[in-house]
Every structure is written in C-alpha cells, then in structure tokens.
Amino acid sequence: MVIKKIAVLLTCHNRKAKTLESLKSLYLNKVPSGYTFDVFLVDDGSTDGTAEAVKEEFPKVNIITGNGNLFWNQGMRLAWKTAANSNAYDFYLWLNDDTIIEPNSLNHLFDCYEEIIAIDEKPSIMTGACYFFSNEKKFSYGGRTEAGPVIPNGKLQKCKYINGNIVLIPKLIHDQLGNLSSDYTHGMGDYDYGLRAINKGFNCYTTKEYVANCPPNEGIPGWCNPELSLTKRWKQLHSPLGLNIKEYNTFRKKFWGQKWILFALKAYAKMISPKTYSKISN
C-alpha cells in the first residue's frame, strides 16, 4: 500500500492552552487507513512558553520560529512553505490553533473528499464546518456563499468562501495555486485562496457534518463598533486585526474589479457613522 502524506499547518501566538488543546485533538484523531501526517507549527514570537510546551508534549511537531509580526496569513504561509520544501505531501490541512476537531474528523474529511472527486472527476478544496454551543450546535466557521453560512445538512454542498479553521487542500491544487497570497497579513487570505481555486476551475465544498468546535469571535468588529470613539475605529480600520482597509481594497480589486471602490466607500461610511449606516443598510 502506498502511504499518502498529509502536512498539517498551524500558526500561533501566545495561546498556549488553546494550541495544546488543538494539537491534542489532532493527535487523538482516527487517521484514515493508508495516511500519515506531519505537523508544521509556526510559533510567532510567543512569550507564554507555547513552543516549549509543544516540544514537551508533542515532540514530533516541527516548530518554526516567527518574528512576532506574522499574524495568521503570513504565519500560515511560512508553515506551508516549510512543509512543501521538506517533503512531497499529497495533502495539506490548515488548522487554526483554537479549533478542536472531533475524534473522527479526519476520516470524515477524506470520505467527503473521495466522494466528491468521484463525482466531479477532479480535486476540490474541502472546508470543515465548525460549531459552537448555544443550547445546541450552531455554525461558527466553514463554507459560505453570498447568502451566508452553508449549514451542514448531511450532503456535500458547494461554497464560495472558505474560513481557514480546518481546510483540506490536495497537492494538485497547491501545485497550481501555490501558497496563500502574500498580499495579506492576517485576514482574507483564506477567502482569497478559495476564490482563486474557483477561478482556476476547481470547486470548494463544505463537509456533510460538523467536524470541529471553534467559538466565533464575539462582538461587533472594532472598526465599526459605535461604542468606540472615531479615533479608535479609524485605528481598527487600518489594523491587521481590524478590517485592514488597504489589504481589504486589494482583495476587492482582485475579485470584483472596479467595484472595489463601492466596497471601500461602504467601509468608510460604516466606520464614520456605524449607527447611521446600519439604519440605511437594513
């Protein structure tokens, strides 16, 4: 039997407990027959002992040291580049360090992948649906369309946008698209990758069922939060952890062409007067 190799890619910064919990859920997973995986973790300048704790508890993890300014997209780019240069992997699995995967998630991801490749006769990106608890399981991250989240319903469903929490990408797609785009620091790299795949003729799907637990980011984004001052909203509009308007405009230009200016104007309007914008847009 030819063993297929998976490179699991993560990046982290000062979230030791969450990172360890995510890795634990990965290593407790039932690995599909005929597959093996290696883990590549970028520790982006953590000062809370994350790297040391990972080395002690999971000595097989390949730890790459970042400079502390990589954030999600650039950290994942470094993890992916390192993995791709170290071995010939058949699949790459993005995994957020705050995402806790279910015991049979890897099997389900690959079952979904094999099912759709038999139908489409070409590789696809498979994004895992994530949930959080609020009396019952509710969608947090996964696949999305213009209409909103794609809720798992027991069937394979296409999506337009992919959240990068847990995403399976086959080698053939990586060979054609390469790494995550260098255009982004933190956010939008996952959406960009899915859209680039679609533009190349591939499809993005979401899993039939929830495969991981990951609570959503709470509250209104700072750049359009009416409870914050205009000065603070302005800073958040330009922050890597906010909208990051320059990179947001790059993203919109790439996939919406000249319509990017409309999205930019909406963003500024929402930042300047979030309450007024909310009333107009509803």
Instruction: Kindly report the three-state secondary structure assignment for every residue of the chain.
Output: CCCEEEEEEEEECCCHHHHHHHHHHHHCCCCCCCEEEEEEEEECCCCCCHHHHHHHHCCCCEEEECCCCCHHHHHHHHHHHHHHHHCCCCEEEEECCCCEECCCHHHHHHHHHHHHHHHHCCCCEEEEEEEEEECEEEEEECEEECCEECCCCCCCEECCEECCCEEEEEHHHHHHHCCCCCCCCCCCHHHHHHHHHHHCCCCEEEEEEEEEECCCCCCCCHHHCCCCCHHHHHHHHHCCCCCCHHHHHHHHHHHHHHHHHHHHHHHHHHHHCHHHHHHHHC
- 182-186, 248-252, 270-274: the lowest-pLDDT one: 270-274
pLDDT computed for residue 281 by the predictor: 46
Whether residue 23 is predicted with pLDDT greater than 90 in this model: the reply is yes
Domain locations in the chain as residue ranges: 4-213, 222-281
Can you give the pTM of this predicted structure? Answer: 0.95
- Reported confidence tier of residue 2, pLDDT bands at 50, 70, 90: confident
Q: What is the pLDDT of residues 75-92, one digit of tens each?
A: 999 999 999 999 999 999
Q: According to the CATH classification, is domain 4-213 in 3.90.1310.10?
A: no
